[in-house]
Structure 1
Amino acid sequence: MSLISIIKIESNQNTMGSGQSQVAPFRLSLMMAAVLVAVNANAAKVDDRPPKLELPSIEIIGQASQLEHIPGSGSVVDKTVIERQGPLSSKDALRTVPGINIIDEDVLGRRFNLGIRGLDPRRGVRTQVLEDGVPIQLAPYSDPSNHYIPSMLRIDRIEVLKGSGQLIYGPQTIGGAINYVSPAIPEEFSGSIRGAGGNNGYYDAHVNLGGTIDNVGLALDYIRQEADGNRQGQKQLLDDLALRSLIKFNDQHRLLLKGTLTHEEARMGEAGMKRDDFINNPRTNFLVNDVFEVERYSGQALYEFDVSDDARFSTNIYGHYMSRESIRQASDSESMPNCNLSSAQRRDFRNAPLCGNEQRPRNYGVFGIEPRFVFNHDFFDVNSETALGVRGHFEWAERKRFVGNAGPTDRTRGLIDLRGRDDRYQNNTIDTQAFSFFAQNKFFVGDFTVTPGVRVEYFHMENTNNVDGLSANQDFVEALPGIGATYNGFDNVTLFAGVHRGFAPPRPDETLDPSTGTLNLVNPETSLNYEVGIRTQPTPGINAEITWFRIDIDDQIIRLDSNRNINAGETVHQGLETGFRLDSDQLFGTKYNYYLTTSYTYLDAFFNSDIPDAEGGAISKNNILPYAPSHVVNANIGVETPWGLDVRFGVHSVSRQFVDQENTQIEDPFGQEGTIPGFTTFSASANYKATKNFDIFMNAYNLSNKKYIANRVDGIHPGQQFQIMGGARISF
C-alpha cells in the first residue's frame, strides 16, 4: 500500500429517509482478521532485545527518559513541573509544551480550547484527549468537544504525543494526543489533605487516600473547587470524585478498576461582549442568569495479562454518560432572540431582565472495548516490539432545544414557537458505531528504531430529527499508514523523523439545517503529516528539543459564526517547535538549583486553495487560518533551595491572531470580527516544604492584571484576570 493511499467509501451523505448503506465492514473485518492471524505467533526470547515490558496500558509515552524510542516529538509535563507551577487547571501546565496554543474562556479550564500546530482550538475538537488511555470527549466521533478535563489536583503527569506515534490512539490523528495519567496507588496506606484560597472567590479542597491490603490497592480523590469567572456575576463550582482499585491476582494478572463522578455548575453562558462594552469595562456581564451544568459518570476496567517477560495482553473496557445543559439568554453578542421587545431593544443587553431564555440539554453515552497485544520478538532476525489492537466504540447523543419568552429564570420546557427556519425546535439523536484496527512495529536495528504502523477506521454515523423523522447518515473507511524513525548513534542525542496520514472525523453542526431538517454533515479531514527533529542532553543539566513540522490537510473543517461547520478546502500548517531546560545543580554543581525552561513555537498556517463562494465569506489562498498565532513563547526561571523553597517567575506571550477565513482586521460593533492583538502575561509561584509532610504554596497569574482579548467566538471574551491563591498540604 502506498503511504499516501486512503480507502474512503462514502454514501447517502445528507440523504433523507431511514435507509442505511452497506459498505465494507465485512471486508474490513476480513482484513483485520488476516493481519492478526499473520502476526499471532509465539515470541522467541533473545538476550539483546529491548527491556522487558513494564508500562501499563494507561500510558502513551511513560517517563520522559523513554522518549528515545518514540517515533516523533513528545513531551511529558511531570510532577515536578506541576508542583512548581501549581496550575489552576491543565491549560496553565500545557502552555509549557511547544506547539500548543490555548485560548482562555473560564478560570478552571473546563471549557477546554486547545489547538496543536495551528489546528482549531475550539473545545479541543481536533486533539485526541485521553485520561489513563481512555478518550474523554463528549462523543469522540460525533461531538469531540471537551467539557470535562480531569483536575490537576489528582493528576501525576500529562503526556503529549505528536508525529506518527499517535496513530494507535485515534480517532483524532492529525495534531496530537494528550493523556492525563493518574498517580500510582501506594503500596502502604497514605494520603494528603490540601486547602487553598485566593481572590476572586477562589478556593479548593482536596482529600486523597490510598493504600494496598494484600493484593488489592485502593485510592480515593475528592476535590471541591470554586472560582469567580473572568466577568462580573460569573462563578464556577466543581465537585470531582475518583475511585481507583488495582487487583493483582498474581505476578501475571492484574485488573485496574476506575470510576469518576463530576458535577459542575457554571453561572455563565457562551455569549461574549460587544466592542463598546469591552472598552468601557472588560469584565462587563449583563447575562447573569446564564447557567452551564455538567454531570459526568465514567467507568474503566483494564485487564492485563503478562503472557511472558516479552508479551502482554490487555483489554480496556470504558464508558461514560454525560449530561450537558446550557441555559442562556443569548448565544452571541449580537442579540437576545427570545424577547418580546423590538429588534433594537433585543440588541441592548441591559434589557436582559425583561427577556426569556433558551435551554439546550444534551446527553451523551459512550462505550468501548479495546483488546491489545504487545510483544517483543526477533522475527526475521531483527529485535522488535509489536503492538496490535482492535476497538469497538459506540456513541449515542441526544440534542434538544427549548426556547421560551416567559423570563430569564423560567426553566419550563415544552414545545416552542418556530420563529424561523434557522431557529427551529430541535430534538435530534446521533448514533455512531466505530470499529478500529491498529498495528505498529518497532524495529531495533543497531542505533536505529524504525516504527511503521497503520490504523484503519470504520464508522457509521446517523442523525435523526425526531420532530419530522428525517435522517441523514454517513459511512467512512479510512486507512492511515505512517512510519517514524529515531537514531541514537551519537552520545546523548536522539534524531527523529516521521510521516503519517492523519484523520479527524466529520462533526455535525449544533443547529438544524433548514433545507434538510437534520444536522448539517461535512466530510472528515485527512492530512499528510511530516516532522524532523532532534532531542539532546549534551551534558547533565541541559535538555533541548527542536522539531520542524508540516501538515497538509484536505477538506479542512472550520466553524462559522452561525455555529455551522464547513469544509474549507486545503490548508498547510508548518513551523518550528523548540524546548529548552537548564538546571545549574547538574550543570555546575551549585548548591542552589537555578533553573530555566523555555518553549517557543513558530507557526505558518494558511489556506492553500481558493473558494470564492464559501459560506461565511470567500476563502483566499495564503490567508492565515483562524486562531493560529505565528509566535507563542513560554518561559520560566526559578531557584530551588536546599532547605525546601522553590520560587518561580514565568512569562507567556502570544502574537496576533485572525478569527475568520477572510482575515478581517477591522473590529465590528459586536466584537466578533477583527484581529486579536498579541499579549504577554506574567505569573509567579512559591513552594516551601516546611517539613517532610507539610507544604506551603502560593501561585499568582497575570501579575500586571493585563486586560486582553482571549477570543472572539460569539463576541469578546476577556482573558484571565489577576489571580492569586495560596494554601497548604498535609501528607501522612
Structure 2
Amino acid sequence: MPPFPKAKSVEGRPVSIDSDKPPSWFRPAIMTVTIMTVINIPLATAAPIDNSPPVLELPSFEIIGQAPAQLKDIPAAAFVIDKTTLDRQGPLSTKDALRTEPGIYIVDEDVLGRRFNMGIRGLDPRRSSRTQLLEDGVPIQLAPYGDPSNHYIPTNNRIDHIEVLKSSGQIMYGPQTIGGVVNFVSAEIPKEFGGSVSAAGGNNGYYDTQLRLGGTVDNVGLSLDYIRQEADGNRSGQHQTVDDLALKSLIKFNDRHRLMLKGTLTHEDARVGESGLTSEMYRKNPRTNLLRNDQFQVQRYAGQALYEFDMSDTIHFSTNIYGNHMFRESIRQANDSSALNNCSVSGEADFSQASTCGNEQRPRTYNVFGIEPKLVFMHHLFGVKNETTTGIRGHFEWADRERYVGNAGPTDKTQGTGDNNNGRNRHQNNSLNTEALSFYGQNRFFLGDFTLTPGIRVEHYYQDNINHIDGASESSVHTEALPGVGVTYNGINNVTLFTGVHRGFAPARIDDVMNPATNVLGQVKPELSINYEAGIRTTPTPGLSTELTYFRINLENQIVNETLIDDDMWVNAGKSVHQGMESGLRLDSDRLFGTAYNYYLTTAYTYIDAYFDSDVPNAHIVEGNRLPYAPEHLINANIGMETPWGLDIRFGLQSVSQQFGDKENTLVEDRTGREGVIPGYTTFNVSANYQVVKNVKVYMNGYNLGNKTYIASRINGIQPGQGFQMIGGVKWTF
C-alpha cells in the first residue's frame, strides 16, 4: 500500500498535497471495504439472541427521542418540536415552527421556505451553511463538505417532529459541528391501513394539497405521501410550485431485525431570482420586481436504507446507507442590485431596460453517497453503568458547477451551445469531488446523579477541484480531531444542570467565482471553534417547564470576503466571538391548575453578543464590530387555548432587533441597498384548529397580520420580508 503523500502545513495543520491524485488507499472502493469490515465485526461477535424485549429503543434515525426522560442525560441545550406544535403552526413552512425555539434565527426569502436561511447563536444564516441539517439522520445539504448550502427542506406536512441538539452532543452528527444539528423525523407508518387527504388555500396564490396512505400487512409496512404546494413570492411576479413525493417502507424480519427503506422525489419550479432591490426601488414599491424572467429550478431524488439489529438486550447495531442526486439551475439577469448582466447599456438604473438584456444560466449537479454503521451498547466497565456509541462513515460527493452567458435576451438559454472549449458561452465548468471518512465515539458514564459524556469525532477528507475549461486543478486534504465532554447533574428533583465544551468544525463553502491565481474555485480551510455551554432544564411542577442556557463560541480561521483584492475572493482570516443567553418557557394551565380549558403560553428569548475578535484590514474588518445578520435580541411568544370540544386557538408574535447587513457595520444605507442597518421589526400571527368530527379537522393560519413592510436581508440588495398571508384548510383522516 503506497504511503500517503506528504502534506503541506499551515500553522501545523495539513491543508494541501503536492500530488493531484488522492492516495490509492483512499479510493471509494477501498473505503467501502473498510466500512463493510467494521460492519461485520459486531455481527461476528454478537451475543446469543434471547426472547426478551430490547432495552435500547431509540431508533437510529432519531438523535434525541420524544420521551421527556431522554433529555435527562443530554449535557446540552436540546429540544423537540412535537407534532402538536407543528400542527398549530400550519402547513406553510418548517421555518415557522423552528422560530418558536431559542437560539434560532431564520431569514425570510421565499414564502414556502425552500431557500432555507437559518443561523444558530449568531452564526451566518445564509443557506443554513453553518447548521447541520438531517432528515431521518441523513445529511440533506447540497454537498455537506464541498458546498454545505441548502435548497431542500422537508415540509411540515410529512414531518412527525423536529429535533435540535447543540454543544458537545452534536459532534456525533458532523461534519458541521459549530452551531447545532437539526433533524427532521418523518411520520411513522401506521399499523393499520389508513390515510388522510388535506387541502388548503389562501391569498397570494397559495394552495396546498396532500395525500397520505399507509398500512402494515404482516411484517411489512408501506406509506406514501404526495404534496403539491404553490405560492406567490414576496415580490410581484414571483411564483413557486413544489411537488414532493415520499415512499417509505418498514420490513420487520423479527423482533430483532428491521429494515427501513425510503425514497423521496422533489421538483421545484420557481419564478424567483437572486437580485434584491436598490434603496430607491424599495422606497417607491417594496414589492416591485422587474426581473420577471428569472427562474430557479430544483430536481432532487434521494434514497435511504436503514438496517437495525438488536443483537441483545443491551447491544444495538445499525447501518445507514443513503444517496441523493440533485440538479439545481438558476437563470438570472442580475446577480445583485448593482447592475444587469450582459447588457449593452450600463444597467445601473432601475432595471427598466431588463427586457433588452441577456442573462446568466447556472446549472449545478450534486451527487452524494454515504454509508454509516453504528454500534450502541450498554456495559459495566469499571463497575459503572455505561452507554457507548461508536460509528464510522464513508461519504462521497461529486459536484459539477457550470455558468453560461446569454446575450440574446432574458430567456436565452445557451447551455451546450457555442465554442465551449474556449469558454465563449461557457464561463465556468468546474468539478469538485470529495471523499470523506469520519469516525466518532461517545461514552456516557452514569455516576449516580451525574452523567459524564466524553466523545470525539475525527474528520478526514480529500478534495480535488478541476477547471475543465483550461485543465487547471488543485487538491487538498484535511484531518481534524474534534473532542468534546459534557456533564449533567440530576440530584435536585425535576432539575437537570448541564455543561459542556467541544471543538467545533465547519468545512468551507466553495464560492462560485474563480480564484484568479489558480483558475479554480477558491479553496479555503475549514473554520474551527471552541464551544462552551452551561444551563439548567427544569419542570418544577407538571404544566411548567423552562430552560436557560449560557453559550460562548470562540471561532477561529473564519472565512471572510477580502474586498480590497477582489469582491468575490474569500479567505481565512480573523476570529469572532458568539456569546449570549437562551431561555425557553412553556406553561399549560390544565396540568398546572387543573383547568378544564388549557390556556398555554410558550416563550423563547435569545440574547446574542456576536463580534469580530481581530482586525483584518484587507477585509475591512475591525475588532469589536458586530457580525452581520446576528441580531442582539430574538423573541418568539405564543399564547393559546385548547378546549375540551376540539378547538385550539393560538396568537403569537415574532420580534427581531436591529442588525447590520455588512461586516463593516455601515450605518447609512447605500444606493444598492446592500449596505446599511437592517431595522428591527415585530410581526404577529394566529392559528386556529377545530376538530369538527372525529376524522375531520378544519384549520386557519395567518402570518404578518398587520402586513408590516420590513427588510429581511440586504444580501444581493434589499429583500423584503413576507407580507400578510392567510390560509384555511380541511383535513380528513380515514
Q: Deviations over 1:580-634 (max 9, x none)?
A: 00000011000110000000000001111111122xxx21111101100000000
Q: Is the 8 A contact 1:32 1:437 kept in 2?
A: no
Aligned to 2:5: none
Aligned partners of 1:40, 1:453: CA distance in 2, in Å?
Answer: 24
Aligned to 2:6: none
Q: 1:571 aligns with which of 560, 573, 576?
A: 576
Q: Is the 8 A contact 2:120 2:180 kept in 1?
A: yes
Aligned to 1:56: 59
Aligned to 1:325: 329
Aligned to 1:364: 366
What amino acid is the match of 2:592?
L
Aligned to 1:96: 100
Pairwise CA distance, 1:357: 1.1
| Unmatched tracts of structure 2, length 5 or more | 1-10
Aligned to 1:716: 718
Q: 1:486 aligns with which of 485, 488, 491?
A: 488
Aligned partners of 1:487, 1:678: CA distance in 2, in Å?
Answer: 38
Residue 71 (1) aligns with residue 81 (2)? no
The two structures, once aligned, show a CA RMSD in angstroms of 2.7
Residues 1:556 and 1:188: Cα distance change in structure 2 (over 3 Å): same
Pairwise CA distance, 1:421: 12
Q: Which segment drifts farther, 90-99 or 59-68?
A: 59-68
Aligned to 2:500: 498
Q: Deviations over 1:506-527 (max 9, x none)?
A: 2221111122111111111011
Aligned to 1:131: 135
* TM-score, normalization by structure 1: 0.93
Q: Is the 8 A contact 1:430 1:463 kept in 2?
A: yes
Q: 2:307 aligns with which of 285, 303, 306?
A: 303
Aligned to 1:395: 397
Aligned partners of 1:111, 1:638: CA distance in 2, in Å?
Answer: 30
Residues 1:44 and 1:252: Cα distance change in structure 2 (over 3 Å): closer
Aligned partners of 2:43, 2:533: CA distance in 1, in Å?
Answer: 32
Q: Is the 8 A contact 1:43 1:310 kept in 2?
A: no
Residues 1:600 and 1:44: Cα distance change in structure 2 (over 3 Å): farther
Aligned to 2:4: none
What amino acid is the match of 1:90?
T
What amino acid is the match of 2:431?
T
Aligned to 1:157: 161
Aligned to 2:259: 255
Q: Is the 8 A contact 1:396 1:429 kept in 2?
A: yes
Q: Aligned ranges for residues 229-628 of structure 1 at < 5 Å?
A: 229-341=233-345, 343=346, 345-414=347-416, 425-558=427-560, 562-614=567-619, 618-628=620-630
Q: Is the 8 A contact 1:43 1:375 kept in 2?
A: no
Residues 1:41 and 1:485: Cα distance change in structure 2 (over 3 Å): farther
Aligned to 2:682: 680
Q: Is the 8 A contact 2:341 2:360 kept in 1?
A: no
Aligned to 2:201: 197
Q: Is the 8 A contact 2:583 2:605 kept in 1?
A: yes
Aligned partners of 2:239, 2:114: CA distance in 1, in Å?
Answer: 12
Q: Deviations over 1:340-393 (max 9, x none)?
A: 22x1x4543011111111100000000000000000111111101100100000
Q: Is the 8 A contact 2:142 2:149 kept in 1?
A: yes
Q: 2:119 aligns with which of 115, 119, 125?
A: 115
Aligned partners of 2:190, 2:199: CA distance in 1, in Å?
Answer: 22
Aligned partners of 1:531, 1:574: CA distance in 2, in Å?
Answer: 10
Aligned partners of 1:33, 1:199: CA distance in 2, in Å?
Answer: 53
Aligned partners of 1:23, 1:528: CA distance in 2, in Å?
Answer: 32
What amino acid is the match of 2:614?
S
What amino acid is the match of 2:350?
D
Aligned to 1:215: 219
Q: Is the 8 A contact 2:503 2:531 kept in 1?
A: yes
Q: 2:84 aligns with which of 74, 77, 80?
A: 80
Q: Is the 8 A contact 2:537 2:546 kept in 1?
A: yes
Residues 1:198 and 1:409: Cα distance change in structure 2 (over 3 Å): same
Residues 1:498 and 1:32: Cα distance change in structure 2 (over 3 Å): farther
Q: Deviations over 1:637-679 (max 9, x none)?
A: 0100111000000000000111221111110111000011000
Residues 1:88 and 1:575: Cα distance change in structure 2 (over 3 Å): same
Q: Which segment drifts farther, 420-429 or 213-222?
A: 420-429
Aligned partners of 2:197, 2:39: CA distance in 1, in Å?
Answer: 48
Aligned partners of 2:351, 2:654: CA distance in 1, in Å?
Answer: 33
What amino acid is the match of 1:316?
N
Residues 1:567 and 1:184: Cα distance change in structure 2 (over 3 Å): same
Q: 1:666 aligns with which of 650, 665, 668?
A: 668
Aligned partners of 2:72, 2:243: CA distance in 1, in Å?
Answer: 39
SS at match of 1:425: strand
Pairwise CA distance, 1:412: 3.0
Aligned partners of 2:181, 2:435: CA distance in 1, in Å?
Answer: 22
Residues 1:567 and 1:288: Cα distance change in structure 2 (over 3 Å): same
Q: Which segment drifts farther, 403-412 or 602-611?
A: 403-412
Q: Is the 8 A contact 2:608 2:632 kept in 1?
A: yes
What amino acid is the match of 1:395?
E
Matched positions, count:
714
Q: Is the 8 A contact 1:422 1:513 kept in 2?
A: no
Q: Is the 8 A contact 1:328 1:357 kept in 2?
A: yes
Q: Deviations over 1:258-305 (max 9, x none)?
A: 000000001001100010111111101000000000000000000001
SS at match of 1:278: helix
Aligned partners of 1:651, 1:496: CA distance in 2, in Å?
Answer: 30
Aligned partners of 2:644, 2:268: CA distance in 1, in Å?
Answer: 40
Aligned partners of 2:91, 2:656: CA distance in 1, in Å?
Answer: 19
Aligned partners of 1:542, 1:691: CA distance in 2, in Å?
Answer: 31
Q: Is the 8 A contact 1:253 1:305 kept in 2?
A: yes
What amino acid is the match of 2:575?
E
What amino acid is the match of 2:158?
R
Q: Is the 8 A contact 1:64 1:75 kept in 2?
A: no
Aligned partners of 2:42, 2:264: CA distance in 1, in Å?
Answer: 37
Aligned partners of 1:305, 1:33: CA distance in 2, in Å?
Answer: 15
Residues 1:649 and 1:437: Cα distance change in structure 2 (over 3 Å): same
Q: Percent identity?
A: 62
Aligned partners of 1:64, 1:665: CA distance in 2, in Å?
Answer: 47
* TM-score, normalization by structure 2: 0.93
Aligned to 1:636: 638
Residue 729 (1) aligns with residue 731 (2)? yes
Aligned to 1:3: none
SS at match of 2:242: strand
| Unmatched tracts of structure 1, length 5 or more | 1-5
